[in-house]
Chains A and B, each alone.
Chain A
Amino acid sequence: MALGLSAIFGVIRLVNFAHGELMTLAMYAAVVAFQGLALDPFVTMVVAAALFAGVGYLIQRAFINRFVHRPEHAQMLLMIALSIIIANLLLLGFGPDARNVQTSYQLDSFELGPILLDKARVYAACAALAATAALAAFFRFTLTGKAIRACADNPLGARVAGLPVAHLYAVTFGLGAACVAVAGCAMVSLIDVTPTLGPSYTLLAFVIVIVGGLGSMVGALLGGLLIGVSEALAGVLIAPSAKSMVSFGLLILVLLVRPQGLMGGGRR
């Protein structure tokens, strides 16, 4: 069920080391909204997505756009700096204890013949699928979406054609942040949140994106599915604690043999 969620991660192409931290931030937002205003995480989701889109847009505009022409490692370091700041500000604000959200339907489940499905998980998966579908539609059918894809293909060409590249990059980042917010709000009803949650999710997101292929949305979905299934299988066949070993093994294999990912195009 977490597959759908992880798929969202894969959609933006920036090498973003602050991904997990942004998600943790969204999770805390959901916790606060729940405790303070008694808002359901799935309601918070909509607000948080809008808010994060704005914040993401500003982050890109303020920091990252200056780095587009710098070497790759400078961008990575910038994102690492942001992630350290977010994680530790959360630690400052909320302390190291785990927080969670208790919803009324958390322990309910749907019965589908012999299969029992947790309600919270079903809702989370639906939200993930909806967000993915919305994003796919956006990229395929709207002008802005098409323009963003043009930028990704060939930034110079896009600029020559008169597209506001900096603005479009910022929009992309905002969209990515919005997706992360959706993921965070959905996750908060499934797992507890602590300030140090970020890095492991950043890495998970990377595994999925790389395995699926950078910049390929189908690949991201497929990567999420593949990782989810192989982790679940490894958990059953080997040992539950060893399951993420499989995904990192898979990541290494894909990086070595097919760095463009399973669904990525021929060009790197």
Chain B
Amino acid sequence: MTRDRQRWAVGAATGMVLLVLPFIASNYVLSVATLVLYLAYVGQAWNVMMGFAGQLSLGHSLYVGVGAYAAAGLFARYGVGPWAGVWLAIALCAAMAGVIGFLAFRLRISGVHLSLLTIAFAELVRIAFDHIDGLGGPGGLFLRVAARDQIDLRAFRGPPAMYYYAMLGLAAGALAVCAALLRRRAGYYWRAIREDEVAAQAVGIDTFWWKMRAVVLSAAMTAVAGVFYAFYYNSLFPEQIFSFSRSIEIILGPVIGGLGTLMGPIVGAAALVLLGDGTTELLARAGLDVPGGKHVVYGVLLLVVTIYFPNGIWPPLARVLGFRPKRL
């Protein structure tokens, strides 16, 4: 009982802080918070595929990129706003994920081979986008930078606080969707597949279709993040957005936080960004400008976590905070 109350208290307090943050924090803090939420969101999306269904994708930058290019292309070339563009982005990504998933799962590709397959597709599409001149090619695609002081919801242009709230909404929504899914049939089926696919099949789960659903849902969620990315950063380069290191960035959060847990992606993203940017900031204060310092921290963090906390930092952290740590 008291544990439950404690949980609610912690949750409510965090929610309150997150809601009023734009009023009390500087723009820098806000941009850091937005980054945390962005990573938490894409981490959550990726976690559906890997954490729940156990299919390791190392090519999720593919969906971020395609989503971003779909919406930004529509906006830049035809003036169609992101509210329509996001549907195109979702449709495209879901379709691509469907094709990749269909090929992979029909032909029984799994494990390392599946991961390599996802990388290969991401790289293939990256090079393809380098050759689409209508979308800028390797030179990049740019969106007009709007005045940052007025809110234009239709074109999704506005001050940093607007982007912050949008990302907060998305992250909260993703958390709610995942929490709901886990309690339903889908969640149980996915975890059954993750733990033992043959056994899952033996008890009558159509593993092919459930894996497909996980992949397509994960891709569709990631597509929305791509749209956000395009309108937040205003510039897209195939070289950057489809790059392998971008995919790695997506998976770092959930892996460090805890694979297959609901809070893992969020905790992981926060830990990464706070430690990474914190170190950069401290070093900058000390008069040291070190490119790459942040990523060394990322790497060390990942190394430590994979060696000492194979289930991520959330389960032990939750125990300390008095939550019931369950690996979902």
Contact = CB atoms under 8 A, between A and B. Distances in A.
Of the four ranges (under 10, 10 to 19, 20 to 34, 35 or more), the interface on chain A belongs to 35 or more
B109 A255 contact: yes
A96 B123 CA distance: 23
Given A15-B112, A78-B306, A88-B296, A248 B130 contact: no
Given A72-B111, A81-B302, A256-B104, A242 B127 contact: yes
B49 interface: no
A220 B181 CA distance: 44
Interface in B262-311: 290-293, 295-296, 298-300, 302-303, 306-307, 310
B245 interface: yes
Interface in A14-67: 15, 63, 66-67
Interface string B190-205: 0000000000000000
A81 B295 contact: no
B260 to A, nearest CB: 12
Given A78-B306, A203-B123, A242-B131, A88 B293 contact: yes
A166 interface: no
Contacts of B104: 256
A72, A207, A248 — most chain B CB neighbours (10 Å):
A248
Contact of A76 (B115, B291, B307): B115
B299 A251 contact: no
B12 interface: no
Contacts of A206: 116, 119
Where chain B touches its partner, the secondary structure class is helix
Contact of B307 (A78, A85, A195, A207): A78
A249 B131 contact: no
Given A76-B56, A85-B303, A259 B124 contact: no
A170 interface: no
B277 to A, nearest CB: 15
A104 interface: no
Interface in A163-214: 195, 199, 203, 206-207, 210
Given A84-B298, A245-B128, A256-B103, A89 B292 contact: yes
Given A91-B291, A245-B128, A252 B117 contact: yes
B8 interface: no
B300 A85 contact: yes
A241 interface: yes
B124 A76 contact: no
B83 to A, nearest CB: 33
A19 to B, nearest CB: 13
A115 interface: no
Contact of A81 (B112, B113, B303): B303
Contacts of B121: 248, 252
Given A77-B306, A252-B120, A195 B112 contact: no
B112 A252 contact: no
B107 interface: yes
A143 interface: no
Contacts of A92: 290-293, 296
Interface in B183-228: none
A95 B289 CA distance: 11
A239 interface: yes
Contacts of A89: 292, 296
A244 interface: yes
A248 B56 contact: no
A137 interface: no
Interface in B125-145: 127-128, 130-131, 138
A87 interface: yes
Contact of A85 (B56, B103, B128, B296): B296
A82 interface: yes
A195 B292 CA distance: 10
Contacts of A136: none
Given A84-B295, A85-B296, A256-B107, A239 B307 contact: no
B42 interface: no
A66 B308 CA distance: 11
CB-based closest 7 A-B pairs? A91-B292, A84-B299, A85-B299, A88-B292, A81-B302, A81-B303, A88-B295
Interface of A: 15, 63, 66-67, 70, 72-74, 76-78, 80-85, 87-92, 95-96, 195, 199, 203, 206-207, 210, 239, 241-242, 244-245, 248-249, 251-252, 255-257, 259
Given A67-B306, A80-B248, A88-B296, 14 more contacts: A74-B310, A81-B306, A82-B303, A84-B295, A85-B300, A91-B291, A92-B290, A92-B291, A96-B291, A195-B292, A241-B127, A241-B131, A245-B124, A248-B120
10 contacts: A73-B50, A76-B112, A81-B306, A84-B248, A84-B298, A92-B291, A96-B291, A207-B120, A245-B127, A259-B109
